[in-house]
Amino acid sequence: MKETKYSEDGKSNHGDDMPQREPAEQFCRRLANPDEDDIDLEQVIAEHRKPHKGIDLR
């Protein structure tokens, strides 16, 4: 199996049909610096949680 090589800009050598890949260093840096735009998933789930109506037995 041929190894995929990526350039510094994250592009693979497979051509334009493959998605761009974020370099590991950039990904780790992004994870280490948490964004202030984080959302509270518990709040989102609670807002949209509704009881299940069950099946219609008519």
Where in the chain are the domains? 1-49
- Taken in order 28, 29, 33, 37, is the CA torsion positive or negative? negative
pLDDT less than 70: residues of the chain: 1-16, 36
In this prediction, residue 23 carries a pLDDT of 92
pTM of the entire predicted model: 0.31
In this prediction, residue 1 carries a pLDDT of 47
Backbone angles phi, psi at 13, to 5 degrees: -90, 15
